[in-house]
Structure 1
């Protein structure tokens, strides 16, 4: 299956709620993305920003930090696990 963000053929895919569940997005739009993209989204952005500003596939793809990550991850070996560094609390 293809990740809707990085467009790599990766399995398994995870479901990302474009409006986070904590922001009443239980029944809203969802996209299927790889775990690397999913981790990166939640590392870079809090749920408020995701709900208010980055609530579509195109907005996520075009956000500068995410776009930079997508360019990088699209070149990575599909057989190797991509590490995403979590934000420090």
Structure 2
């Protein structure tokens, strides 16, 4: 019996839509993709949003979980905050793969 080799092969695979960060509107590379809980998981939040790692870290550097739950549980609310707005204006000019390491908090003790 003859094999159907390379005959009428219909591809079922569809390439996924590229992720765009809703904060900075840049393409999110796979290695820079973080899932952000709009309402912190510790406070019952389940819905997540894909963000650049640098944008995600900036959110958590500016706001604690109570603030995120009460005042900044949407992308629109985050963008209205003056410090977040300033950060977004800065990071929008960077290439999609750009990542600037975060500094360790002074409250953390050096392990040694």
Question: TM-score, normalised to structure 2's length?
Answer: 0.69
Bigger fraction of residues in helix = 1
User: What's the secondary structure of 1:59's corresponding residue?
Assistant: helix
- CA separation of 1:72 and 1:22: change in aligned 2, threshold 3 A: same
Q: Give the structure, 1 or 2, with the largest relative contact order (CA under 8 Å, sep 6 or more).
A: 1
1:1-89 matched pairs, under 5 angstroms = 1-12=19-30, 13-25=33-45, 27=46, 29-89=47-107
- What per-residue deviation string (whole Å, max 9, x for no partner) do you get for residues 40-64 of structure 1? 0011110010001001110011111
Unaligned runs of 5+ in 1: none
Deviation at 1:67, TM superposition (A): 0.6
Question: TM-score, normalised to structure 1's length?
Answer: 0.85
Unaligned runs of 5+ in 2: 1-18, 108-112
Of structures 1 and 2, the larger Rg is shown by 2
Query: Please, what is the CA RMSD of the aligned residues?
Result: 1.6
